[in-house]
Structure 1
Amino acid sequence: MTIVYALIMFCILVLVHEGGHFIAAKAVGVKVNEFAVGMGPVLLKKIKGETQYSVRLFPIGGFCAMEGEDDESEDERAFGKRPIWAKAIIIVAGSFMNLILAIVVLACIVFYIGMPTTTVNGFSDVSPAREAGLLSGDKIVSIEQHQVKSWNDITDAISKEKGEKITIGIDRNGKDLSFSMDLAKEEGTGRKIVGILPEVSRNPFTALEKGAESTWIMTVKMVEVIGQLVTGEVSTKELTGPIGITVAVSDSVRYGFIYVANLAALISLNLAIVNMLPFPALDGGRLVFLFIRKITGRAITDDIEAKVHFVGIMLLFALMIYVTWQDIGRFILN
């Protein structure tokens, strides 16, 4: 079942990516010959208009086959006949859709879990705050006379307090009140607490904002790691492939769907970033060739570009074999 879950996740992510290319191609008037889910022999197909929609045997990807994408075509609606801006939109659209998917999934996670507010909703078993006189519904406005605007401000201020007591200012039905209380230590972690539980807000706009913020943080981290791979600061032994992803899916399923969704967002963002790297055969490489050919004119033919991309595909296959071999040693043989 883990393999099935991993294949479903991967197919959805690839479908979103190729769907981006498909929607963009249709939007700028490029003829799409086939939109396929999976690879290999055709299992099911339906022709609608000028496009064949198909499901293929091996659920390991998919593709959007555009007229004149990899060869010369005299069709006026061929990919090669479109202006450079239209080609660029089509190329970038796949990664853009993966990026949007990551934001939406993370936003849904935030909305489901809820965002803690500064309003007290209840108290833990050990609660100096309750003993001091705080009530459910009190809104915390300050700690040690420092204004707080979020739940993180509250937890940070409490954990950084060096004394044994702390003063919390609250708004109770429009009245400003102040309470002094002892600090307790949480069992297990030892961190300082006052024993309050926050009221949770589920605002779709806040969730979307937090989803975008989390996606940006993850993007920065991923770009840093890619840079460290290039400079050698991070070893290629740290890379993982399909087997490693399957193991990660297995672990996520064990912990619950929130973890599965978070992993899906992470992989979707990874696909977006990796696909835009300026390497032959990847969307980023195709984008680079697009601008090079615009500058050099006919100096680089379709045949030359196709050969360069073929070399890129072979190198990517070699990398996939390498990381798969590593995964076998790491997750199967050990």
Structure 2
Amino acid sequence: MLTIILAIVLFVLLIFPHELGHFVAAKAVGVRVNEFAFGMGPALYKKQGRETLYSIRAFPVGGYCAMEGENEESDEEDAFVNKPAWARITVLVAGSAMNVLIAILVLSIMFGVIGAATTTVDRVQKGMPAAKAGLSRGDRIVSVDGREIQKWSDLSTALSGSDDTRSITVTRNGTEKTLYVTPVKQDSRYVIGITPMVTHSPLLAVRNGITGSWSMTRSLFGALKQLATGHVKADDLSGPVGMVSLVHQTEKAGLINFFYLVALISLNLAIFNMLPFPALDGGRILFVIIRLFTGKAITDRQEAAVHGAGMALLLLLMIFVTWNDIERLLT
């Protein structure tokens, strides 16, 4: 049951904010939204606004934003197809932008809960090199061998590689002090026997959320490059069934891992939607740019036909990855 609930939360956090981004941007640039829905399937509740029908639907797995003239010709002035290129691009980018914001928000909350390591020493293990060298609780590590230490991971990097004696400069009671420490090897790592103080600063959590999202994005682009060059096989791709399986795995590992998964898939969705492929937001943006220079050489009907073909290919891809997911579950 918990897996089902978390899977629903995952799909809501992935799809609904994406559509909300389109909705907010559409309203901002004057595009008429015929319906904005939370969920999919039969309507449980409807309310007609001044120009938009708001609805809650039976299956809470996302939502949609139906804009006037989004996939067809329209004579209405406030139709999507009749808006300037900059306005249409703004609306199209907004969905993926919301997915990026969701990733940053989720990671920021996660880092705020678990805290972030500072460069201030919390505990010094007895009998270890740090204790022998005279490090104390409350010492703030400034540098190692003259190299500035800005975050705790910098200290791990500075100590790695060998058991050579290092000079560690710390600030203690407002005064700098230099100590000499010889690391020892434990579990393939060189350590000196200290643990950091942890802070739950909101500002630091947000900063870590942004840097964490950027690091994830770089990794995802690297994976995309590997897929394009054949280093990652198409059989390794996963769809909704695989996502539910991952939710089940992270449920066992704890909620922190679940929210990390939410951020990862949200960024993945943002990148995927910006690919210049028909039916995706990136493909639609590409057509906006092409038609900006070609004028009426491509009609709305022709563009809609290309996007329709692209959607058919995406559905085939979905079937393929879903079959892969089912095979993996059965083997």
Answer yes or no: same fold by TM over 0.5: yes
CA distance in 1, matches of 2:191, 2:287: 57
- Amino-acid identity (%): 48
CA distance in 2, matches of 1:322, 1:124: 54
Corresponding residue for residue 277 of structure 1 = 275
1:204-237 Cα shifts (integer Å, max 9, x gaps): 3332222222222221221222222223222101
* TM score, norm. by length of structure 1: 0.92
CA distance in 2, matches of 1:180, 1:167: 5
Corresponding residue for residue 135 of structure 1 = 136
1:121-154 Cα shifts (integer Å, max 9, x gaps): 1124653322432221112223344443321222
* TM score, norm. by length of structure 2: 0.93
CA distance in 2, matches of 1:241, 1:202: 35
Q: CA RMSD in A?
A: 1.9
Amino acid at match of 1:204: P
Task: Say whether 1:65 aligns with 2:66.
Answer: yes
Amino acid at match of 2:263: A
CA distance in 1, matches of 2:307, 2:21: 21
Tell me whether 97-106 or 142-151 shows the greater mean CA deviation.
142-151
Return the offset for 1:161: 3.4
Return the offset for 1:22: 0.2
Corresponding residue for residue 322 of structure 2 = 324
CA distance in 2, matches of 1:153, 1:233: 32
CA distance in 1, matches of 2:174, 2:59: 63
Return the offset for 1:276: 0.6
Corresponding residue for residue 82 of structure 1 = 83
CA distance in 2, matches of 1:70, 1:311: 13
Gaps of 5+ in 1: none
Amino acid at match of 2:293: I
Corresponding residue for residue 173 of structure 1 = 173
Task: Say whether 1:245 aligns with 2:243.
Answer: yes
Q: For 2:160, what is the secondary structure of its paired residue?
A: helix
CA distance in 1, matches of 2:75, 2:146: 74
Amino acid at match of 2:172: R
Superposed, 1:2-41 pairs within 5 Å as 2-41=3-42
Return the offset for 1:28: 0.7
Q: For 1:37, what is the secondary structure of its paired residue?
A: strand
Gaps of 5+ in 2: none
Give yes or no for contact 2:13–2:262 (8 Å, CA) kept in 1: no
CA distance in 2, matches of 1:97, 1:169: 43
Give yes or no for contact 2:239–2:318 (8 Å, CA) kept in 1: yes
* Residues 329, 146 of structure 1: alpha-carbon distance in 2 compared, 3 angstrom cutoff: same
Corresponding residue for residue 206 of structure 1 = 204
Amino acid at match of 2:218: V
Return the offset for 1:244: 0.9
* Residues 193, 301 of structure 1: alpha-carbon distance in 2 compared, 3 angstrom cutoff: same
- Deviation above 6 Å: which 4+ runs of structure 1? none
Amino acid at match of 2:204: T
Give yes or no for contact 2:163–2:182 (8 Å, CA) kept in 1: no
1:34-68 Cα shifts (integer Å, max 9, x gaps): 00122222222122222111122333432101112
Q: For 1:160, what is the secondary structure of its paired residue?
A: coil
Amino acid at match of 1:275: N
Return the offset for 1:105: 1.5
Tell me whether 150-159 or 200-209 shows the greater mean CA deviation.
200-209
* Residues 13, 126 of structure 1: alpha-carbon distance in 2 compared, 3 angstrom cutoff: farther
Task: Say whether 1:161 aligns with 2:165.
Answer: no
Task: Say whether 1:112 aligns with 2:113.
Answer: yes
Q: For 1:87, what is the secondary structure of its paired residue?
A: helix
Q: For 1:69, what is the secondary structure of its paired residue?
A: coil
CA distance in 1, matches of 2:20, 2:143: 49
Number of residue-to-residue matches in the alignment? 330
* Residues 318, 168 of structure 1: alpha-carbon distance in 2 compared, 3 angstrom cutoff: same
Task: Say whether 1:98 aligns with 2:99.
Answer: yes
Tell me whether 299-308 or 148-157 shows the greater mean CA deviation.
148-157
Give yes or no for contact 2:96–2:274 (8 Å, CA) kept in 1: yes
Give yes or no for contact 2:124–2:135 (8 Å, CA) kept in 1: no
Corresponding residue for residue 307 of structure 1 = 305
Give yes or no for contact 2:41–2:58 (8 Å, CA) kept in 1: yes
Return the offset for 1:306: 1.4
CA distance in 1, matches of 2:296, 2:150: 59
